[in-house]
Amino acid sequence: MRRAAALVLLAAATAAQAGRPCEEKAQTTQQVEQGLNLAQAAARQLDASGAQVAILARAGQDLSKYGLQWSHLGFVYKDTHQQPPVWRVMHKLNHCGTDHAALYRQGLGEFFLDRPHRYDAALVVLKPELQQALLPLLADNARVARLNERRYSMVAYPFATTYQQSNQWVLETLAAAAAPNVNSRRDAQAWLKAQGYQPTDLRLSALERLGGRLTQANIAFDDHPTARRMTRHIDTVTVDSMFAWLPRAGLSQPSQLVQQ
C-alpha cells in the first residue's frame, strides 16, 4: 500500500510539472481517485477496441461558451516493450502559461491527473493502416518531434507555422503519418486542407483578443489573417473539430465516450 501511495503521489507531481497550470496546490484524495478511475476505464475501453493507436481527449477546461466539449488530446498507443503491455499517451503541453511547449510521454494515470474540468473522456480508434504508420513513429523520440514547434499559442492559426498549439501538433503529426509526401508543417497543412479539415471559428471580440494578448503569454493572434481577425473570426484546431473530421475523412471510427 505504501508503494502504491508513493506511485500515485509521483504521478500527481509529474502531471503538475508537465501540465498547463503549474499550481502548487496539492490534489485531493478524491481528485486522484477520480483521475485514476478514469484512466482505468480508458484502458479497459482501449483494450476492448483491439486498437494499438487511438486519439484520446480530456475535458481540461470548460469551453462550453464556445460550444466545445473537449479541450485537449493526445495520441494513445500500446507499448508492447513492457510486459504486460501498457498504454502510453504522447502529447504536447504548454509549460505553466508561458509562450513555449514541449512533448511528453505519460501513462494514462498521469494524463488524467491534471485537474480536468470533468472526469470523463473520449477516444477515436484510427483506421488500421494509420495505426501501423503511427506506432513506430510514436515510440521514436526523434521522429515524433519532427513537426513539433516550440513556440506556442493557445489559439494558433491552423494554416501558419509561427506557433503551434497542442491539438495542432497531433493533427499535423497524423497528417505526416497518413501521407508519405508530408515532410514539413507546411506540407501537413496543405494535405489537411486538401482532405477537407475545417478548424473551429471561435468568434472572439476585440476586447477578448486584447485582454488575452496583454495578460497571457501563451495567447497570440498575429499569425491569423488580418481580414478574418478584424471581423472576429479566430480559427484554431480543437478536439471537437478533429473528432468531426476524422471519421468524415475515413481516417477513424466515430468517437467513443469514456466514463468512470
- List of domains in the chain: 2-259 (3.90.1720.10)
pLDDT tens digit sequence for 179-217:
989 999 999 999 999 999 999 998 775 545 544 444 578
pLDDT tens digit sequence for 27-55:
889 989 999 999 999 999 999 999 999 99
pLDDT at position 190, please? 98
> What residue ranges in the chain does DSSP mark as E strands?
53-59, 72-79, 86-94, 101-107, 118-125, 200-201, 235-236, 256-259
pLDDT at position 105, please? 97
Mean pLDDT within 225-229: 89
Is the distance from CB of 112 to CB of 43 less than 8 angstroms?
A: no
pLDDT at position 23, please? 60
Query: From the CA atom positions of the chain, what is the Rg in Å?
Result: 18
H-helix or E-strand spanning residue 226: helix 226-230
H-helix or E-strand spanning residue 171: helix 166-178
One-letter amino acid at 124 equals V
Averaged confidence pLDDT in the chain = 87
Mean pLDDT within 93-118: 92
CA distances from 30 to 2, 33, 256 (A): 18, 5, 25
